Amino acid sequence: MALPRFAVVDLETSGLDARRHRMLQVAMVTVDESGTVHDQWETFVKLKWPLGRVGPTDIHGITRSMLRGAPGLRDVLDEFSERLGDSLFVAHNARFDGEFLARAARHRGSPPHLASALERRLCTLRMSRR
């Protein structure tokens, strides 16, 4: 019997508002309940506009030149969705990361199940505050 899997996700964004800012980098590590790592993945996300703002580089260290040659958002979301599969979405501030991913999915026509998969989540920030 397969053990439950957890997709631990982190995003870097150009700001804090999912309506105005964009994802710059996505990372995911998939583990089972024993802690065994099954998959690791990270990618930059190409900005739609060449002069798109990357936001606070002093916080995330990402520059526009680092995003050149990166896959577009639709490709990133397709890959993310495939790797997420039926794993539980886990993030430190899962609401923030989930909001960016869900908004991007709605606007880019990514796989239909992605938005619902992001609703099933575990937030380590909320857990740490308990």
Neighbours of 67 (CB within 10 A): 18
* Predicted local confidence at residue 51, as pLDDT: 60
* Predicted local confidence at residue 82, as pLDDT: 93
Mean pLDDT for 88-95 is 96
Domain hosting residue 105, numbered range: 5-129
* Predicted local confidence at residue 50, as pLDDT: 58
* Predicted local confidence at residue 74, as pLDDT: 92
* Separation between Cα atoms, residue 89 and residue 106, nearest integer Å: 18
Judged on CB neighbours under 10 Å (0-12, 13-18, 19+), 84 is: buried
Contact 72, 46 (CB under 8 A): yes
Compare 30 and 105 and report the one with higher pLDDT: 30
Between strands 121-123 and 88-91, the pairing is parallel
Mean pLDDT for 82-108 is 93
* Predicted local confidence at residue 107, as pLDDT: 80
Compare 2 and 118 and report the one with higher pLDDT: 118
Q: Tell me: the pLDDT tens digits for 21-78?
A: 999 999 999 999 999 999 999 999 998 765 667 888 888 999 988 999 999 999 999 9
* Predicted local confidence at residue 56, as pLDDT: 85
Q: Tell me: the pLDDT tens digits for 113-122?
A: 788 888 889 9
DSSP 17-68: -TTT--EEEEEEEEEETT--EEEEEEEE---SSTT-----HHHH---HHHHT
User: Count of domains in the chain?
Assistant: 1
Query: Which helix or strand (DSSP H or E) is residue 78 part of?
Result: helix 73-84
Q: Looking at residue 43, which CATH number applies to its domain?
A: 3.30.420.10
